[in-house]
Amino acid sequence: MAKWDYDGPILEIENLSISFFTRAGEIPAVMDFSCTVQPGEAMGLVGESGCGKSTVALGVMQDMGKNGRIVGGSIKFKGRDLCKMSQEELRQLRGSEIAMIYQEPMASLNPAMRIGAQLMEVPMIHAGATSESARKLALEVVTAVRLPDAERILRSYPHQLSGGQQQRIVIAMALMSKPSLLILDEPTTALDVTVEAGIVDLVKDLGRTYGTSLLFISHNLGLIRETCDRICVMYSGEAVETGSISDVFNKMRHPYTQGLFRSIPLPGADKNSRPLIAIPGNFPLPHERPNGCNFGPRCSYFVAGRCDAAEIHMATVDGNDRHSSRCLRFGEIDWKAVPERKAATEATIAGKVVLKVDALSKYYNVAASALFGGAGGRTVKANEGVSLEAHEAETLAIVGESGCGKSTLAKVLLGLETASEGLVMLGNNSIGNTQIENRSTRTVADIQMVFQNPFDTLNPSHSIGAQIIRVLEIFKVGKNNAERQARMLELLDLVKLPRAFATRKPRQLSGGQKQRIGIARAFAGAPKVVVADEPVSALDVSVQAAVTDLLMEIQRKHRTTMLFISHDLSLVRYIADRVMVMYLGHVVEIGTADQVFSPPYHPYTEALLSAVPIADTSVTKKHVVLEGDIPSAMNPPSGCPFQTRCQYKKQVPGNLCETELPAMRVMAAGHQIKCHLSQAVFDSMEPVIKMVSAE
Amino acid sequence: MEPLSTVAIWGETFARFVPVWIGMAVVFAISIYFKRRLSLYGRLFDSPVGMFGFGIILFWILTAILASRIAPYSAVDQVLSMKNALPGKIESEFGISYIFGGDNLGRDVFSRMVWGSQTVLAIAPFATLFAYMVGVTLGLPAGYFGGWFDTLLSFLANLVLAFPVILLFFLLVTPEIARETNVPTTLAAILFAFPLVFFTIVVYSKYHTQPDKVWLILGTGLAFGLWAYSGLAFNRDPLGVFGMDPNRLNIFVSVVFVNSPTVFRIVRGMTLDIKTRDYVAAAQTRGEGPWYVMLWEVLPNARGPLIVDFCLRVGYTTILLGTLGFFGLGVSPESADWGFTINDGRRLLLVTVYPAMAPALALMSLVLGLNLLADGLREQSMRD
Residue A471: closest CA among chain B residues belongs to which residue?
B286
Q: Give dist(CA B325, CA B255) in Å, integer.
A: 13
Q: Supply the pLDDT for residue B156.
A: 93
Contact A518 B282 (CB under 8 A): yes
Residue A530: closest CA among chain B residues belongs to which residue?
B285
Chain B positions touching chain A (beta carbons under 8 Å): 151, 209-210, 277-279, 281-289, 296-297, 300-301, 303, 384
- Residues from chain A that touch B281, judged by Cβ atoms under 8 A, are 416, 449, 451
* Exposure string for B76-110, b = 16+ CB within 10 A, e = fewer: eeebeebebbbbbbbbeeeeebbbbbbbebbbbbb
* Exposure string for A616-640, b = 16+ CB within 10 A, e = fewer: bebbebeebbbeebbbebeebeebb
pLDDT tens digits, residue range B114-172?
Answer: 888 888 888 899 999 999 999 999 999 999 998 899 999 999 999 988 888 778 777 77
Torsion angle of alpha carbons B161, B167, B168, B172, nearest 10°?
A: 170
Low-confidence ranges of chain A (pLDDT < 50): 1, 370, 373-374, 694-695
Helix (H) or strand (E) holding A245: helix A245-250
- Residues from chain A that touch B289, judged by Cβ atoms under 8 A, are 437
How far is A306 from chain B, CA to nearest CA, in Å?
A: 37
Contact B303, B271 (CB under 8 A): no
User: Which residues pair with residue A37 across a beta bridge?
Assistant: A11
How far is B311 from chain A, CA to nearest CA, in Å?
A: 21
User: Judging by DSSP bridges, how do beta strands A421-426 and A25-37 pair with one another?
Assistant: unpaired
Range B39-59 average pLDDT: 88
Q: For residue A597, how many C-alpha atoms fall within 13 Å in the half-sphere facing its CB?
A: 23
Option in A453, A474, A507 nearest B287 (CB): A474
Contact B281 A416 (CB under 8 A): yes
Q: Give dist(CA A421, CA A592) in Å, integer.
A: 27
Option in B278, B279, B287 nearest A439 (CB): B287
Option in B279, B282, B285 nearest A436 (CB): B285
Contact A308, A292 (CB under 8 A): yes
Whether the bond between A600 and the residue before it is cis, its omega within 30 degrees of 0, is yes
pTM metric for this prediction:
0.82
Q: Supply the pLDDT for residue A694.
A: 44
Q: Give dist(CA A604, CA B330) in Å, integer.
A: 74
Option in B209, B284, B384 nearest A416 (CB): B284
Contact B300 A476 (CB under 8 A): no
User: Mean pLDDT across chain B, nearest whole number?
Assistant: 85
Q: Supply the pLDDT for residue A2.
A: 52
Contact A461 B300 (CB under 8 A): yes
- Residues from chain B that touch A452, judged by Cβ atoms under 8 A, are 278
Residue A506: closest CA among chain B residues belongs to which residue?
B279
Which of A439, A470, A484 is most worth mutating to test chain B (most B CB atoms within 10 A of its CB)?
A470
Residue B313 pLDDT more than 80? yes
Q: Taking the alpha carbons of B141, B144, B147, B152 in that order, is the dihedral positive or negative? A: positive
**H helices present in A396-540, as ranges:** 406-414, 441-446, 464-474, 481-494, 511-523
How far is A441 from chain B, CA to nearest CA, in Å?
A: 8
Contact A474 B288 (CB under 8 A): yes
At position A331, the amino acid (one-letter code) is G
How far is A282 from chain B, CA to nearest CA, in Å?
A: 21
Contact B279 A459 (CB under 8 A): yes
The separation between the first and the last C-alpha atoms of chain B, rounded to the nearest angstrom, is 60
Contact B255, B131 (CB under 8 A): yes
pLDDT tens digits, residue range B256-299?
Answer: 888 999 999 999 999 999 988 889 988 988 888 888 899 989 99
How far is B149 from chain A, CA to nearest CA, in Å?
A: 12
How far is A458 from chain B, CA to nearest CA, in Å?
A: 5
Percent of chain A with pLDDT over 90: 2
- Residues from chain A that touch B303, judged by Cβ atoms under 8 A, are 461
How far is B4 from chain A, CA to nearest CA, in Å?
A: 49
- Phi and psi angles of residue A665, each rounded to the nearest 5 degrees, phi first: -110, 135
- Phi and psi angles of residue A386, each rounded to the nearest 5 degrees, phi first: -85, 125
How far is A46 from chain B, CA to nearest CA, in Å?
A: 28
Option in B151, B286, B301 nearest A461 (CB): B301
The separation between the first and the last C-alpha atoms of chain A, rounded to the nearest angstrom, is 48
pLDDT tens digits, residue range A478-513?
Answer: 888 888 899 899 888 888 888 888 888 888 888 888
User: Judging by DSSP bridges, how do beta strands A578-583 and A561-566 pair with one another?
Assistant: unpaired
Q: Give dist(CA B330, CA B335) in Å, integer.
A: 10
Option in B279, B288, B303 nearest A457 (CB): B279
Residue A370: closest CA among chain B residues belongs to which residue?
B147
Contact A253, A325 (CB under 8 A): yes
Q: Supply the pLDDT for residue A373.
A: 47
How far is B287 from chain A, CA to nearest CA, in Å?
A: 6
Q: Give dist(CA A454, CA A539) in Å, integer.
A: 8
- Residues from chain A that touch B277, judged by Cβ atoms under 8 A, are 456
Contact A474 B286 (CB under 8 A): yes
- Residues from chain A that touch B285, judged by Cβ atoms under 8 A, are 414-416, 436, 444, 448-449
Chain A positions touching chain B (beta carbons under 8 Å): 371, 414-416, 436-437, 439, 441, 444-445, 448-449, 451-453, 456-462, 471, 473-476, 507, 518, 521, 525
Contact A128, A176 (CB under 8 A): no
Residue A473: closest CA among chain B residues belongs to which residue?
B209
- Phi and psi angles of residue A426, each rounded to the nearest 5 degrees, phi first: -110, 110
The closest alpha carbon to A46, from A239, A208, A199, belongs to: A239
Contact B285 A437 (CB under 8 A): no
User: Judging by DSSP bridges, how do beta strands A42-46 and A230-235 pair with one another?
Assistant: parallel
DSSP assignment of A56-124 equals HHHHHHT--TTTEEEEEEEEEETTEEGGGS-HHHHHHHBTTTEEEE-S-HHHHS-TTS-HHHHHHHHHH
A526 torsion bin: left (phi>0), alpha (psi -120 to 50), beta (else): left
Contact A521 B209 (CB under 8 A): no
Q: Give dist(CA B243, CA B249) in Å, integer.
A: 9
Q: Give dist(CA B98, CA B88) in Å, integer.
A: 5
Q: SS3 for A551? A: helix
- Residues from chain B that touch A462, judged by Cβ atoms under 8 A, are 296, 300
Torsion angle of alpha carbons B157, B159, B164, B168, nearest 10°?
A: -80
Contact B282 A451 (CB under 8 A): yes
Which of B214, B273, B278, B303 is most worth mutating to test chain A (most A CB atoms within 10 A of its CB)?
B278
Contacts of residue B71, Cβ cutoff 8 Å, sequence gap at least 6: B108, B110, B111, B114, B115
pLDDT tens digits, residue range B202-238?
Answer: 888 888 877 788 888 888 988 888 888 888 877 777 7
A·B CB contacts under 8 A: 58
Checking B10-16 for CB contacts under 8 A at 24+ apart, the result is: B12/B97, B12/B99, B13/B99, B13/B110, B16/B70, B16/B72, B16/B99, B16/B110
Q: Give dist(CA A463, CA A468) in Å, integer.
A: 9
**H helices present in chain B, as ranges:** 6-16, 18-33, 39-43, 48-65, 67-70, 109-145, 147-162, 165-173, 175-180, 183-191, 193-207, 211-234, 246-274, 278-285, 290-292, 303-326, 338-346, 354-382
Contact B287 A452 (CB under 8 A): no
Which of A459, A479, A523 is most worth mutating to test chain B (most B CB atoms within 10 A of its CB)?
A459
- CA A270 remoteness from chain centre: 20
Q: Supply the pLDDT for residue A660.
A: 84
- Residues from chain A that touch B286, judged by Cβ atoms under 8 A, are 444-445, 448, 471, 474-475, 525
Q: Supply the pLDDT for residue A545.
A: 84
Q: Supply the pLDDT for residue A1.
A: 47
- Residues from chain B that touch A458, judged by Cβ atoms under 8 A, are 279
Q: Which residue has the higher pLDDT, B315 or A21?
A: B315
Q: Give dist(CA A97, CA A274) in Å, integer.
A: 47
Contact A456 B278 (CB under 8 A): yes
